A = this chain, B = another copy of it.
């Protein structure tokens, strides 16, 4: 396998527009034969939570609060022009109107294309999340060293 044809993304941000960038890059790369690894960490973990929508999951009251605030793809804000949540809705509407895949469609495409989803061990500890809290497509829980090992020799992006 051509080792250069590899794209690894550290999905740190939970913003709607940045997650759209993550999944657009990932699916675009996978469609032309790249091996694609996404390492979800911090706010990015939002994208792979099983239970989308605001809910109080997590061990103690603090992590429960994060569970509520990080409500998944349906309620994630944009990094700019959020307007109390109107921003993502405007984007969705523009994407549909212009026949561009929406974020949810991109995530589904990523699953179909066999893109590798990984969750960051450290961030899970901090936010009180367990592997069961994530969608079944999450292949593994990894530390930094394992992820760097996976991504070696390809292009790596921090988004």
Contacts and interface: CB of A to CB of B under 8 A. Distances in A.
A98 B125 contact: yes
A17 B42 contact: yes
A134 interface: no
Contacts of A12: 18, 21, 159
A122 B109 CA distance: 16
A116 to B, nearest CB: 17
A127 interface: yes
B93 A62 contact: yes
A85 B119 CA distance: 27
Interface string A81-119: 100000000110111011110000000000000000000
Contacts of A100: 122, 125-126
